[in-house]
A = this chain, B = another copy of it.
Amino acid sequence: MRLVNLMCGAYHKQFRCLSSKITEEVSKLLALKAQQGTDKDEKAGGKFVLKTAKGTRDFNPRQMVIRQQAFDKIIACFKRHGAETLDTPVFELKEVLTGKYGEDSKLIYDLADQGGELLSLRYDLTVPFARFLAMNKVGSIKRYQLGKVYRRDNPAMTKGRFREFFQCDFDIAGPTDPMIPDVECVRVVTEILDSLDLSEHVVKINHRKILDGLFEACGVPETQFRAICSSVDKLDNSPWEDVRREMTDEKGLDPEKADQIGQYVLRSGQDDLVEQLLADTKLCSSKSAVEGLEALKLFFRYAELYGVKKRVKFDMSLARGLDYYTGIIYEAVLTNQNPEEGVGSIAGGGRYDNLVALFDPKAKAVPCVGVSIGIERILAILENREVNLKMRTVETQVYVAAAQKNLLEDRMKICTELWDIGIKTEMSYKANPKLLGQLQTCEEQGIPWAIIIGQSELEKGVVKLRHVVSRHEEEIERTKLADVLKEKLSAPVF
């Protein structure tokens, strides 16, 4: 008869041994199978499909450990920069989200109208943060927030793109002198990616005023700025020819103007490019462009002082879709050429000086800048890396085992004693478990110490203390058990 402990062990082992590749393939097949099953089952009135909602997933204990370790590092960085945290509800009044996300608004999840308010799931943490600032009349705060957000996007779960996913946001709100907090946000991103050993990354930057100025200088009508900007945004994944075609054929832009845009948006560099552009008379005919370029000049100066300049790339094609950005925009991408770790955006953000005013009854503006770390993609990489690593998902320090039958009550008493002094203690849930099974549990779960009790030893007033890894055993006086364990457990971990 197998014991519950053994099953527990097997469960752990299972999670340890499966590579996430396999897990992924299996879940794809299962999903497919489930999907095929749907029609038949539904018609037959049978059981429903056993799955999570499209684009969402469970996290098993192993994934949770990896996730928590990453969160701890991210939060440590946010605190190192003086941020405090807050929390907002997972849904907002629908109208709070309306008109903030440009073309992406169609991806917002709405709640059913069950009488009462019209509600939507939050699409990011930024808009609820701005709502919080206006509602509580907070004029200045440095805050971080970790939370799930929701987008009815086409999920690409293998690439870490989900419909429910975590964002880790850091924002600095309140009046400041130019660019000081803007550069600190980049510093925060690089500190975090470094601490997660994702060191090969680059933070692409651009400035909304440069984009606007560029369109102005190239003769794009102001009404078309947003549409053309959204085309430029696609240079990420599409060649210039396709983007140009979209501008001219779909959006009706004069081909000559498109070509002028092409001469700018394909360029990237550092402060040298800023200087070149400041000498470009056509671009500098736009006041907006000059302002943006001067801002980036300052940005590079501060980036040098904050030790992050080598990580920054001024990329004139970086546009970012969201409506609310007003100044600098960022996007961090991994440059690692390991194809398994993929390439793609893992953090993004920018300055949004007018968002809070949209919520304030008196339209009072609170300038803000912030960055959002997209943790799912990072987790996918970390999970793949640590797939063969032995990892504990429980922290149990002591396992109370019985060598014979009829010792349940004695095991319970010892557990109580150890819980009382804060020692992480477990025992079998069987009344009369076999010793071998109990010891196997200890080994499989990496529990460092086992107490083994027997009738004759208890009568002598002693118990056995077993060091699980070395299998070394010593006899301890029952009355001194708690003290001995306290001492052993305060010693360095082995």
Are A430's CB and B176's CB within 8 A?
A: yes
Q: Are A11 and B111 in contact (CB under 8 A)?
A: no
In contact, B86 and A58 (Cβ under 8 angstroms)? yes
CB distance from A68 to the nearest CB of B (A): 8
Interface centre among A48, A50, A116, A430 (most CB of B within 10 A): A50
- For residue A8, which residues in chain B have a CB less than 8 angstroms away from its CB? 140-142, 174
Mark the stretch among A299-307, A472-480, A485-493 that contacts chain B.
A299-307
- Min C-beta distance of A136 to chain B, whole Å: 7
- Give, as a whole number of angstroms, the nearest-CB distance from A313 to chain B: 20
A254-262, A286-294, A418-426, A453-461 - interface stretch? A418-426
Question: B429, A176: Cβ atoms under 8 Å?
Answer: yes
Query: A164 — which chain B residues lie within 8 A by C-beta?
Result: 89-91
Question: Which of B80, B96, B413 is within 8 Å of A305, CB to CB?
Answer: B413
A51 at the binding interface (Cβ < 8 Å): yes
B361 touching A47 by the CB < 8 A rule?
A: yes
Residues facing B in A13-32 (CB within 8 A) are none
Q: Which of A202-210, A325-333, A380-388, A393-401 contacts B (4 or more CB under 8 A)?
A: A393-401
- Asked if A416 meets B306 with Cβ closer than 8 Å, knowing A58-B89, A61-B86, A394-B84, the reply is yes
User: Are B61 and A177 closer than 8 Å at their CB atoms?
Assistant: no
Interface positions, chain A 59-84, Cβ under 8 Å from B, are 59-61, 64, 67, 79-84
> A302-B412, A409-B305, A419-B191 known; A89 and B52 CB under 8 Å?
yes
* Neighbouring B residues of A116 by C-beta, 8 Å: 54, 152
Query: Does A92 lie at the interface of the complex (its beta carbon under 8 Å from any beta carbon of B)?
Result: yes
Contact of B7 with A140 in the complex, beta carbons under 8 Å: yes
CB distance from A86 to the nearest CB of B (A): 6
Which residues of B sit under 8 angstroms from A80, Cβ to Cβ?
419, 422-425
How distant is the Cα of A359 from the Cα of B85 in the complex, in angstroms?
38
Residue A222 CB within 8 A of the other chain: no
Partner of A412 from the list B92, B191, B305 (CB cut-off 8 Å) is: B305
Known contacts A117-B54, A131-B50, A306-B416: does B176 contact A60 (CB below 8 Å)? no
A139 to B138, CA, bound (A): 50
How distant is the Cα of A388 from the Cα of B422 in the complex, in angstroms? 30
A394 adjacent to B176 (CB under 8 Å): no
Inter-chain contact B111/A110, CB cutoff 8 Å:
yes
A382 and B110 alpha carbons, distance in the complex (Å): 34
A50 touches B90 (CB 8 A): no
Count, chain A residues at interface, CB 8 A: 97
- The answer to whether A139 and B11 touch across the interface, beta carbons within 8 angstroms, is yes
Interface flag for A113 (CB, 8 Å): yes
Q: Which residue in B81, B87, B112, B191 is a CB contact (below 8 Å) of A113?
A: B112
Q: Which residues of B contact A92 (CB under 8 A)?
A: 52-53
A431 at the interface (CB under 8 A from B): yes
A135 to B, closest residue via Cβ? B50
Contact A81 B419 (CB under 8 A): yes
A198 surroundings in chain B (CB, below 8 A): none
Q: Does A344 contact B (CB under 8 A)?
A: no
A48 CB contact (under 8 Å) in B95, B113, B191: B95
Which B-chain residue is minimally distant from A147 (CB atoms)?
B148
| A176→B4 contact, CB < 8 A | yes
Interfacial chain B residues near A67, Cβ < 8 Å: 87
Query: A61 to chain B: which residues have CB within 8 Å?
Result: 84-86, 141, 143
Tell whether A324 is near chain B: CB-to-CB under 8 Å. no
**Contact with A140, one of B4, B56, B180 (Cβ below 8 angstroms):** B4
Task: Check: A88 CB closer than 8 A to any chain B CB.
Answer: yes
Chain B residues positioned under 8 Å from A174 (CB to CB): 4, 7-8, 429
Residues of B within 8 A of A102 (CB): none
User: With A80-B423, A361-B47, A394-B79 known to touch, is A136 a contact of B7 (CB < 8 Å)?
Assistant: no
Which one of B89, B150, B172 contacts A56 once the chains associate, using CB atoms below 8 Å?
B89
Can you offer 9 A-B residue contacts whose CB atoms are under 8 A? A51-B93, A57-B89, A59-B87, A80-B425, A89-B164, A116-B152, A172-B429, A176-B430, A177-B431
Name A's B-contacting residues (CB within 8 A).
4, 7-8, 11, 47-54, 56-61, 64, 67, 79-93, 95-96, 109-114, 116-117, 119, 121, 131-132, 134-136, 138-143, 148, 150, 152, 164, 172, 174-177, 180-181, 187, 191, 302, 305-307, 359, 361, 393-396, 408-409, 412-413, 415-416, 419-420, 422-426, 429-431
| Known pairs A56-B89, A177-B408 / 6 extra A-B pairs, C-beta < 8 Å | A11-B141, A50-B361, A58-B86, A81-B424, A82-B424, A110-B114
